[in-house]
Chains A and B, each alone.
Chain A
Amino acid sequence: AQRVTQPEKLLSVFKGAPVELKCNYSYSGSPELFWYVQYSRQRLQLLLRHISRESIKGFTADLNKGETSFHLKKPFAQEEDSAMYYCALSLTGYSGGGADGLTFGKGTHLIIQP
């Protein structure tokens, strides 16, 4: 069965410092990978997906099939980046995970200190 691992429950960095949230997955096929974010008192929302290769709010993530990783990176952290971040995997196709059930990691709580 597929699995998503986020090794850090909590990550605290200073404003302006680089950020890297780690995500590793286990699946023998070619999954779709996503990062979801939940800001304080807001709903879970899609941040970015690997197939679009886009940068959202300064965040990027590259799928490394050799290392089965999909780490989320941002060169200069901002205080508004403080949130809960979830890495997720979909087995079939795009649509932001709406075409089938997502497998989520346990999440990393990112705190940006001023």
Chain B
Amino acid sequence: DAGVTQSPTHLIKTRGQQVTLRCSPKSGHDTVSWYQQALGQGPQFIFQYYEEEERQRGNFPDRFSGHQFPNYSSELNVNALLLGDSALYLCASSNPAAGEKLFFGSGTQLSVL
């Protein structure tokens, strides 16, 4: 099992552009969460998806949106990129009903120029 996989590993965009990040959860996991980690900071919760619906959301603007597919994989979309969106974006998966703990991916490093 490859665990949680994220793509791409690195991405460079310019202000105003849109970006899509992808995540495949660990086998057996049905819940996907996304976090933003700015340099020198701890991860900040963006949102969580379960059964293809956004179940919980952190304090992020509507420019941040997501999707979960029937195979439990997920996408994070960010519109109208700002310089401040430059960060490491972490995906984490779990299966709370089964008592499975949270597993993190290696992240996508997004740079906005």
Contact = CB atoms under 8 A, between A and B. Distances in A.
Interface of B is mostly: strand
Contact of A104 (B4, B43, B48, B106): B43
Given A95-B102, A98-B31, A101-B58, A107 B96 contact: no
Which of the four size classes fits the interface of chain A?
A: 20 to 34
Contact of A98 (B41, B58, B90, B100): B100
A43 interface: yes
What is the predominant secondary structure among interface residues of chain A facing chain B? Answer: loop
A43 B91 CA distance: 11
A99 interface: yes
A96 B100 contact: yes
Nearest to A49: B101
B96 A93 contact: yes
Interface string B85-113: 00000101111100111111110000000
Given A96-B94, A101-B56, A46 B101 contact: yes
Given A43-B106, A44-B90, A93-B96, A98 B101 contact: yes
